[in-house]
Amino acid sequence: MSNALPLRRVAPALMGALVLGACSAKGAAPSGSASRSSSGQGTPPPAVRVQLVVQVQPYHLPVAVEREVAAYWAGQIYLAGGLDTTDTATSGVFARDARSGSVT
């Protein structure tokens, strides 16, 4: 009996953690050359609203892979690495069209 959690239960939590981690990262400290207001306090940047949507799609990868890394860019979802069914690290890289599900 395997104690692995089903992907459908784990994927939304992992994506949420990834997005929250990326959104909470701090950038470099501002340089001293920026203009300051008369009170010495800078104007805070406007708030940015971020929305995450997680959906189960009807298509699958050509091979079973878990714990891979995913990144979205220009309509493509890039998937890299992970573990195969024998828990062996893989070096595969897939590009999946976000709308059609086709893999290249």
- Per-residue model confidence (pLDDT) at position 94: 86
- Per-residue model confidence (pLDDT) at position 2: 47
Strands of the 76-80 sheet, one edge to the other: 69-73, 76-80, 93-97
- Per-residue model confidence (pLDDT) at position 13: 66
- Per-residue model confidence (pLDDT) at position 22: 62
- Per-residue model confidence (pLDDT) at position 1: 44
The answer to whether residues 68 and 79 touch, using CB atoms and an 8 Å cutoff, is yes
Quote the pTM value: 0.46
Query: Could you list the pLDDT tens digit for every one of the 104 residues in the chain?
Result: 444 555 566 666 666 666 666 665 555 555 555 555 555 578 888 888 888 888 887 888 777 888 889 898 898 989 899 998 899 998 888 898 988 888 88
